[in-house]
Structure 1
Amino acid sequence: MLTKLRHPPRLLTVSFRPSMPASSTVSRHWRPRTLLQLVLLGFVLVTAPLLYLIYETTHSLDTVASRMQQYSQEALSTTQRGQQLVSLSIELERTARQFQVVRADSLHTLFSQQLDRFRNLLELQHQQADIGGLYQELEQLLVPLPDLVSGQDTANELDTVLTQIDSKTEQLRDSVDKLVNQRLDELNHFNEDTRTHLLLSSTLLLALSLVLMIMSGLVITRPVRRLEKMITLLGEGKALPSNRIGGPAELANLGGKLHWLDQQLASLEQQKKQFLRHMSHELKTPLASLREGADLLGEGVLGELNTSQQEVVELMQYNSQQLQRLIEQLLDYNMLHQNLPMAVSACELPTLIKEVVTLHQLSVQQKQIHLQTQGDALNWPADRHKLQRCLDNLISNAINYGAREGQILVAWQTINNRLIIDVANTGQAIAAAERARIFEPFYQGQSQRLGPLKGSGIGLSVARDCIEAHGGSLTLHDLHGFDVCFRIELPESEHLAV
């Protein structure tokens, strides 16, 4: 029969928390230990709502399809019975009228058979559709019909009853058609509710899958990002955080290896500093004897020297000075990494620069370089030793890498309470690919150093550390007329003096 539609099923609440016995401590605190377990668990959590969505969609579509098939069959059979009742009522009327005229037993038998079929169809229609009022009225009209057909002088009453039966049968057909349309409307509403339900379920379950996917990704990527940060800190030479890496065992073990590597690098750094310190001190003693012997020869204490011998002695003096400068750079590199306190005092800048230039006068003369200083008298609070070491390294760098018979400019000025010192030279420019690394310790670019001694690669690093200790900066700067220019910027450093 045509039944009323039920409401669509309510959205089920899906729980992914496994039920575990309270007595099992190990199971209650289980969590994925390895990266594979974590990936598999994340995959299960992400796909579980999607699998449930597929199941619910399939189930809903099956329900809709089965109901549509059922209602279509019931509507078809009910409509057909309505048409049959109308046709049968017409046949009843025709047979009854023929019997009234002819009075043949065959017509009476046919009328009885048609009346039985009409009653059976009416009963079946009453069972399949809600036609209670019309069913009772038709049953009442059918009760006297056999007597009216068989009786004499009942033609008028028979016509009245048959007309009423035809009318009620037509009403029955219209009522059934209306009922079928009502059931079809209910089926459409059911389909619409099911579609809305599936759309809401899809939205919620897809959102749940997205949230679970993001959470699973965060659980995996969080330790990876921490490892990336630790590797960056290692590359920058900074200390690693003491807390260990959580998450899967593989990533936790990798974090432990990074901490071990950090300890090994720190140990190697200490050994390197100790080696440089010992080597520098060990080299200074024979170097001092070598310089003293060269000076005695140059002063003629052991006898007069001819021109060739004097040139050899001057070469020994120059190279011994260069070697001493390299050793002092190594010592300065170690001292700057020991965070010793600043010794700030008022430095007369022109005098300080003149002293540094004088140390390189022999090299300037040998390469026939035109060295020019430019600036006004100026006193500036700074650590004299660090500022002198920085200028010494920059001027030495300009001489060694500058062009023969080139130009060197040392200029200073104050701009907005900041001391600006430019050390510029002509010669080979620094390649763009090397500009970001020239201040790294022990880095040597492709530019060829002019001279018999190869540089240590820490001169610019020491110079930068000396300036940064003042709170300033040492950078490459473009200066018209020169190929290379290093600019020192020192802030107003009254707080350093305090």
Structure 2
Amino acid sequence: MTATEGRCWPCGGWLVAGARGCGTSRALVCESRGVPRSEAAYAAHFCIPDRNSTSRGVMKLPRPRSVLGLILAGFTLVALPLIWAVYRGADHVEQLAVQSEALVLHAVQVTRESKQLAELLTDMERYARQYEILADAPLLRLYEEKNNGFLAALGTLEVLDSKGAMRERLTAMRGAAVELRDSVAGYVPGSDDAPIDIGGFARVGDMVHAIATENIRSIDQQVESLRRTATDARRSLFWQSAMLVPVTVLLAILFTVLIARPVRQLGRAIHLLGEGSYSSPVSVSGPAELTALGEQLDWLRRRLVELEQEKNVFLRQMSHELKTPLASIREGTELLCDGTVGELSDTQTEVVEILRESGLELEQRIENLLSFSAWQQSKGQLTVGEFELANVIDTVVDNHQMEVVTKKLKIRKSLKQVTLLADREKIRMAIDNLVSNAVKYSPVGGRIAIRISRKAQRVMVDIMDEGPGIPSDERERIFEPFFQGRVPPGRHVRGTGIGLSVVHECVEAHGGKVGVRVRPTGGAHFRITLPVTYEPQAA
């Protein structure tokens, strides 16, 4: 078998160089794959379809692989039934409008002509009576004018009577009108031989009234016919809409699901990444663009896991590396303060005191870094047990007693006895950070208030100080990791931005809340709200 040069476009067979095929002018033969030489000769003029074309020939519904194609296909399929329904409705409305317009025009013309017949007949009778008494020629001419108008109005009615329903009545009326005209025209004043037939006007008037009544009845019939047509059109549109609405709704739901499902998957993945949950792989099914975006998000997830691990390792190593020289600095400072190396002057004592306070502050920041690193590693893992919340607060206050005495602070505690079922260490860490901030930012001689209250199954811990407080524009962000607000007056170094984020995560892990409350007298007021009994959140 000679080498093929592609497939025949009409049938899918194989094109072989050297002969005619498929009726084209190209010197190609369309030969089926695997056909013997004897059959190949037969294929010199005819295209033999591929033996595997049966499976390939099965029609498959096209499925858009892109978001744009899917949206366009959805809009098209959803809009087509609606467009058809609108077209049908517009066609019915147009037909009804044309029929209504014709009916109104016909009714107006018929009514106008019928009214004109009655008015002309009245004038004709008046002029005929006057002419019979006065025998004045101008009165006869006026009668002739009204009579001609009467006959013209009859002619208009005959034209309007396209169906011939009033043809006999109009013909009879025309004959009666002609007889009246002859009666008036043939009247000889002063002679009693041929008087004017005044009673004929009454008979013609009855005919005019009968025609008017017939016109009204005809109009009523046409209005009723139009009403039935409108009712039929409304019923037809209703059933068409009743059939189209489910189809349109199903198509809309189908394409909404096809579009919304991958979007929801992306949204869920982004939400998990935003919450710092990197354990679940990102999988998106749908159009090619969204699938590719899902793969990029999964790559981002893996990269964030690596960066998070590197960050935690760095924090742990750096914190431990800083604690070693800091311990030496602290010991040396304490020796200088105790006078072990000799008496110090007042200026030297002041400088050593500054060094001591700075060392304590640096130690607290390193502890915050270690706490943050430890929390990131054990995030979501709580060791739950029962404990007295007031005991935890007493322990935290005792740990800060040295700073409290140094700054001559007054701590007022109002601690209600509440037994919590929670992670004692995490709760201690959260309260310790808030008490540490209160001590740090309180002025010398200031007051700190710590209160425990309970409401139903919730317990509130309020910690208030007289420091500079939290600016209103920073209250929404102070719980974000590493957020640093403006430097408070009297201080020259910003915080690390870790302490409050640890508080927030510890409280949130217990299903509680922490927030900043407005304090009219100034200072900061933090409130922790916790459930009395910790209940693990469903995954």
TM-score > 0.5, shorter chain as reference = yes
Residues 34 and 378 of structure 1: is their aligned pair in 2 closer, same or farther, counting only changes over 3 Å?
closer
Partner of 1:295: 334
CA RMSD between the two structures: 4.7
Work out whether 1:46 is the aligned partner of 2:78. yes
Does residue 35 of the first structure (1) align with residue 74 of the second (2)?
A: no
Deviations along 1:357-380, one digit per CA (max 9) or x if unpaired, are: 354445445545433344478887
- Kindly provide the amino acid, as one letter, of the partner of residue 327 in structure 1: I
Counterpart among 324, 328, 331 of residue 367 in structure 2: 328
| Structure 2 match to 1:400 | 440
State the 1:396 CA deviation: 1.7
> 1:221 deviation in Å?
4.3
1:409 aligns with 2:449: yes
Partner residue of 2:312 out of 268, 273, 283: 273
1:342 alignment partner, one of 378, 383, 387: 383
Match of 1:202 among 219, 233, 237: 237
Q: Does residue 1:234 correspond to 2:273, yes or no?
A: yes
Q: 2:287 corresponds to which residue?
A: 248
- Code of the residue aligned with 2:345 in structure 1: it is N
Contact 2:74–2:252 (8 Å) recurs in 1: no
Superposition deviation, residue 326 in structure 1: 0.9
Greater mean deviation of Cα atoms: 193-202 or 340-349: 340-349
Q: CA deviation at 1:477?
A: 4.4
**Alpha-carbon distance in structure 2 between the residues aligned to 1:26 and 1:363:** 84
Q: Which moved more, 1:331-340 or 1:367-376?
A: 367-376
User: 1:227-265: CA deviations, max 9, x gaps?
Assistant: 344433333334586563344333333333333333332
Q: Which has the higher contact order (CA 8 A, sep 6+)?
A: 1
Question: 1:482 & 1:188 partners in 2: Cα distance?
Answer: 82
Instruction: Indicate the residue corresponding to 1:455 in structure 2.
Output: 495
| CA distance in structure 1 between the aligned counterparts of 2:431 and 2:300, rounded to whole angstroms | 37
Give the corresponding residue for 2:523.
483
Partner in structure 2 of residue 156 of structure 1: none
Any residues of structure 2 matched to 1:297-376 within 5 Å, and which?
Answer: 297-337=336-376, 338-339=378-379, 340-342=381-383, 344=385, 346=387, 349=390, 353-365=393-405, 367-375=407-415
Question: Deviation at 1:214?
Answer: 3.9
Provide the C-alpha distance between the structure 2 equivalents of 1:416 and 1:80, rounded to a whole number of angstroms: 92
Query: Residues 75 and 416 from structure 1, CA distance in 2 versus in 1: closer, same or farther, beyond 3 angstroms?
Result: closer
1:13 is matched with which residue?
A: none
Q: Aligned partners of 1:79, 1:418: CA distance in 2, in Å?
A: 91
Q: 1:26 to 1:474 in 2, by over 3 A?
A: farther
**Distance in 2 between residues matched to 1:255 and 1:495, nearest whole Å:** 34
The answer as to whether partners of 1:400 and 1:451 remain within 8 angstroms in 2 is no
Q: 1:450 to 1:382 in 2, by over 3 A?
A: farther
Q: Secondary structure at the match of 1:372?
A: strand
CA contact (8 A) 1:336 1:462 kept: yes
Distance 1:415 1:189, change over 3 A: closer
**CA 1:184 to 1:384, structure 2 compared with 1: closer, same or farther past 3 Å?**
closer
Gaps of 5+ in 2: 1-52, 104-157, 177-213
Q: How does 1:173-184 map to 2 (within 5 A)?
A: none
1:211 partnered with 2:249 = yes
Residue 162 of structure 2 corresponds to: 76
Q: Give the partner amino acid of 2:289.
A: E
SS in 1 for 2:327: helix
Question: Greater CA deviation, 388-397 or 360-369?
Answer: 360-369
Does the 8 Å CA contact 1:294/1:313 hold for their aligned counterparts? yes
Q: Is the 8 A contact 1:472 1:491 kept in 2?
A: yes
Q: Secondary structure at the match of 2:162?
A: helix
Greater Cα offset, 317-326 or 382-391: 382-391
Asked if 1 retains the 8 angstrom alpha-carbon contact of 2:430 and 2:507, the reply is yes
Counterpart of 1:199, as a letter, is: R
Task: Judge conservation of contact 2:315–2:369 (CA < 8 Å) in 1.
Answer: yes
Q: 1:412 and 1:84, CA in 2 relative to 1: closer, same or farther beyond 3 A?
A: closer
- 1:445 is matched with which residue: 476, 485, 488? 485
Match of 1:389 among 429, 445, 449: 429
CA distance in 2, matches of 1:304, 1:65: 115
Q: Using the TM superposition, give the Cα deviation of residue 57 of structure 1 relative to its aligned residue in structure 2, in angstroms.
A: 5.4
Deviations 1:441-471 (A, max 9, x none): 2223346275454211111222344445556
- Cα offset for 1:31? 1.5
Alignment correspondent of 2:45? none
Indicate conservation of the 8 Å contact 1:386/1:466, yes or no: yes
Deviations 1:257-300 (A, max 9, x none): 33333333233222222221121122122222222232333334
The CA deviation string for residues 307-326 of structure 1, in whole angstroms up to 9 with x for no partner, is 32233222222211211111
Are the counterparts in 2 of residues 401 and 447 from structure 1 also a CA contact under 8 Å?
Answer: no
Aligned to 1:237, what secondary structure does the other structure show?
Answer: coil
- Cα deviation for residue 485 of structure 1 reads 2.0
Q: Return the letter of the residue paired with 2:237.
A: S
Q: 1:211 to 1:456 in 2, by over 3 A?
A: same
SS in 2 for 1:76: coil
Q: Cα distance 1:365–1:272, how it changes in 2: closer, same or farther (>3 A)?
A: same
User: Is 1:412–1:421's contact at 8 Å kept on the other side of the alignment?
Assistant: yes
Whole-angstrom distance in 2 between the partners of 1:86 and 1:419: 105
Distance (whole Å) between structure 2 residues aligned to residue 494 and residue 221 of structure 1: 36
Instruction: Work out the number of aligned pairs and report it.
Output: 386
Conserved 8 A contact 1:246-1:252: yes
On the 8 A contact 1:233/1:240 being kept in 2, the answer is: no
Task: Name the CA shift for 1:220/1:240 in 2 (closer, same or farther; >3 Å).
Answer: farther
1:386-431: CA deviation from partner (whole Å, max 9, x where unpaired):
4443333112211333345432123345665765433211233333
2: CA distance, partners of 1:459 / 1:363:
18
Distance of 2:520 and 2:318 partners within structure 1: 42
Give the partner amino acid of 2:67: L
Check whether the contact 1:284–1:324 (CA below 8 A) recurs between aligned residues: yes
Please tell me whether the aligned partners of residues 347 and 382 of structure 1 are also in contact (alpha carbons under 8 angstroms): no
Counterpart amino acid of residue 441 in structure 2: Y
Change in 2 beyond 3 A, CA 1:192/1:49: farther
Of residues 208-217 and 331-340 in structure 1, the stretch that sits farther from structure 2 once superposed is 208-217
2:476 corresponding residue in structure 1: 436
Instruction: Please say which of residues 73-82 and 439-448 is displaced more in the overlay.
Output: 73-82
Given that 1:372 and 1:409 are in contact with CA atoms closer than 8 Å, whether structure 2 keeps it comes out as yes
Structure 1's 45 and 418: CA in aligned 2 closer, same or farther, altered over 3 A?
Answer: closer
Give SS of 2:449's match. strand
**Letter aligned with residue 162 of structure 2:** L
- Look up the match of 1:96: none
